[in-house]
Every structure is written in structure tokens, then in C-alpha cells.
């Protein structure tokens, strides 16, 4: 790397100039090397995700006769069934996100207050379902909730009800199943952010005479809001595009966005319609994430994937 230590080189230029050239060449070589390390992964992602989505976007701009038109998008406003699908999707997403906050916040709070050992044991209850297949968990809820499922059998045996309750194959079933699947996506980032809240802040509050409830309300809760917001955005966005649970537990009555996309492409081979739905879904997803980043100045952190 270093080129001589004399103050002048053969060409009579000061040492630094040639050295700088060599260093620049070395940096360039290094950057190329790093790019080479990245390129296989980037190439795969680019060709499997970006190219087909771009292609689908292009397709969505043409109608069935091959004319350039916005017919695929106009349909969303014109056909009642699409409007109903969007309404259902947002309704499910709102209810599931709300349920996740309601159940997830106390759990994350408890985990953050427990001693380390106890917390890591309790965390297993969050992480194990998180890493269990979505299909397995949806199947479990089908077994528990369906007409002749566990809950109905129990309630009938106990004489609480005469007729089985409609718990699966409807809106309630979808919401229960999805809440179970989404809960870890809220709890894990929320717990992580709660762990970073400085206990001295809370202790100071209590020293100054605040009751435990006031300490929580005025100090802990506001400090936990960014973590909560992060979890909420992740859950909401995942809900919008969720497929497996509504497809299996909706009983054909709860048609969500992703199911509509699957129907359009697999059932009707209408690529334009399916693609247009996908483009809007992606746009809404990115807009929500962007909005979050803009509002809080931070990226929605957390554990994604596992859908």
C-alpha cells in the first residue's frame, strides 16, 4: 500500500501525491470487493422481487383488450365487492391491532418489570408461538373455535349454551386467529423499547411523591409510546396483506385484500386486476411506513417476517 518513504518519488513529486493515488485505488478496489460480496444477494432479491413486481405494475396499466387504461384501478371505486373487501380488510386490521395493543401492552409491561431470569422464561411464551408455523396456529384455532370444536363442546357439555356459537368461519374467528399471530409482532419491539426506559426516571418520579399509578401514567407510558407506535405500525401493515388465516378461518365470508389478489390471479387468471390490487396494497404499506418514519423520525423497528 505505502509507496516508498522518501520525501520525493522517481517522478519528483512529493510523497503524498502518489500515496494518495495508491490509497484511492486501494479504496476503489476495496469498494468493488465489497460490492462483489453483496451482488449475489442483491441480484436474487432484485430478480425475484423487484422485477416481477415492476412487471405486474406494468400489466396493471392495461385492460383486457390490451389497451392502456386505468380500468383495473377504476374498478376499485366502481364495484361494490371491491369496496367491501377494502372495508373488511381495514376493519379486521383495526380490530386486530386494537386487540394486540390491549393484550400486548400489559404483557410487554410485565415482562419489562420482571427480574431478568423470570422475564426470559416468560419471553418463551411469546417467542415460541412467534416461531411456530402460522398454519399450525391457524389449525389450532380451527380446532378450538369451530362448530364442533373444543369451546362449543365444552360450553354445551356444561349446559351454558344449547346451540353451538358461531366462532370460526366468520369475522370473529379471523380476528381471534390473527390476533394470536400478530401479538408477538407487537410485544417484542414494545418490550425491547420498554427495556431501554431508564429506571432512574421512574424512581425520580416516585421520590418526588408520585404514586405508582401517576409514575406510570406520566413517565413510563409516554416514554413507551415510540415502541408502541412501532409495534402498531408493523401489526397494522402485516394485517392488511395477511392471507393464510382469513383464507382458512373466514369461511368464505370474510374476504380480505390478499384473498382477493389470490382469487383474481389463480381463479380468474386476471393478472391486471390482481396486479392492480397488489400495487395499491404495496403503496398503502409503504405510505404507512413512510408516514411513521416521518412522524417519529425513526424506522419501524422490530421483528418482521414470519407471516
Partner 1 sequence: MSTENSLPISHRQRLWLYLLGGLVMLFLIAPSVIIVIMSFSGSTLLQFPPEQWSLRWYQSYFGSVEWRDATIVSVKVAVMTAIVATPLGTAAAYAINAGTLRLTGAINALLTASLIIPVILIGIGTFFLYARIGLNNTLTGLVIAHTVQALPLVVLTVLSGLRSYDMNQEMVARSLGAGRFAAFFQVTMPQLRFSIVSGALFAFITSFDEVVVSLFISGGETTTLTRRMFNALRDQIDPTIAAISTCLIVLSIVLLSAAQLLGRGR
Q: Grid coordinates standing for 116?
A: 431478568
Least distance between partner 1 and beta carbon 198 (Å)? 11
Least distance between partner 1 and beta carbon 87 (Å)? 18
Q: Grid coordinates standing for 203?
A: 424512581
Site for partner 1 in 60-99 (CB under 8 A): none
Site for partner 1 in 7-26 (CB under 8 A): none
Residue 267 within binding range of partner 1, rule CB under 8 A: no
Least distance between partner 1 and beta carbon 6 (Å)? 22
Phi, psi of 62 (to 5 degrees): -120, 145
Near partner 1 by CB under 8 A, which window of 40-48, 60-68, 75-83, 223-231?
40-48
Catalogue the long-range contacts made by 147-156 (C-beta closer than 8 Å, 24 or more residues apart). Answer: none
Residue 56 within binding range of partner 1, rule CB under 8 A: yes
Residue 268 within binding range of partner 1, rule CB under 8 A: no
Residue 281 within binding range of partner 1, rule CB under 8 A: yes
Terminal Cα distance for the chain, rounded: 49
Integer-rounded Cα radius of gyration of the chain: 27
Please say which residue, 8 or 121, places its beta carbon nearer to partner 1. 121
CA distances from 61 to 47, 124, 287 (A): 21, 47, 21
Residue 287 within binding range of partner 1, rule CB under 8 A: no
Site for partner 1 in 186-245 (CB under 8 A): 199, 202-203, 206, 212, 215, 240-241, 243-244
Residue 248 CB partners (closer than 8 Å, separation 6+) = 138, 139, 142
Amino acid at each position: 500500500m505505502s509507496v516508498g518513504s522518501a520525501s520525493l518519488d522517481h517522478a519528483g513529486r512529493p510523497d503524498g501525491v502518489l500515496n494518495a493515488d495508491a490509497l484511492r485505488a486501494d479504496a476503489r478496489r476495496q469498494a468493488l470487493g465489497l460490492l462483489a460480496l453483496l451482488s449475489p444477494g442483491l441480484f436474487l432479491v432484485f430478480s425475484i422481487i423487484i422485477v416481477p413486481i415492476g412487471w405486474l405494475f406494468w400489466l396493471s396499466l392495461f385492460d383486457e383488450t390490451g389497451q392502456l387504461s386505468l380500468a383495473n384501478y377504476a374498478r376499485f371505486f366502481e364495484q361494490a365487492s371491491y369496496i367491501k373487501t377494502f372495508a373488511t380488510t381495514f376493519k379486521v386490521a383495526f380490530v386486530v391491532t386494537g386487540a394486540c395493543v390491549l393484550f400486548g401492552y400489559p404483557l410487554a409491561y410485565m415482562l419489562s418489570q420482571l427480574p431478568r431470569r423470570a422475564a426470559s422464561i416468560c419471553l418463551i411464551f411469546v417467542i415460541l408461538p412467534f416461531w411456530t408455523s402460522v398454519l399450525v396456529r391457524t389449525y389450532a384455532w380451527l380446532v378450538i373455535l369451530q362448530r364442533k370444536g373444543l369451546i362449543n363442546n365444552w360450553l354445551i357439555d356444561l349446559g351454558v349454551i344449547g346451540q353451538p356459537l358461531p366462532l370460526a368461519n366468520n369475522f370473529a374467528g379471523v380476528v381471534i386467529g390473527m390476533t394470536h399471530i400478530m401479538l408477538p409482532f407487537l410485544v417484542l419491539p414494545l418490550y425491547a423499547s420498554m427495556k431501554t426506559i431508564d429506571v432512574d426516571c421512574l424512581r425520580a418520579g416516585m421520590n418526588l411523591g408520585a404514586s405508582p399509578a401517576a409514575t406510570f401514567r406520566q413517565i413510563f407510558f409516554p416514554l413507551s409510546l415510540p415502541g408502541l407506535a412501532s409495534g402498531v405500525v408493523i401489526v397494522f401493515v402485516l394485517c392488511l396483506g395477511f392471507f393464510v388465516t382469513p383464507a382458512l378461518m373466514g369461511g368464505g365470508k370474510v374476504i380480505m385484500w390478499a384473498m382477493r389478489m389470490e382469487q383474481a390471479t389463480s381463479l380468474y387468471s386476471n393478472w391486471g386486476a390482481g396486479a392492480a390490487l397488489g400495487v395499491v396494497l404495496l403503496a398503502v404499506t409503504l405510505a404507512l411506513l413512510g408516514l411513521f418514519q416521518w412522524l417519529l423520525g425513526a424506522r419501524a423497528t422490530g421483528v418482521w417476517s414470519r407471516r
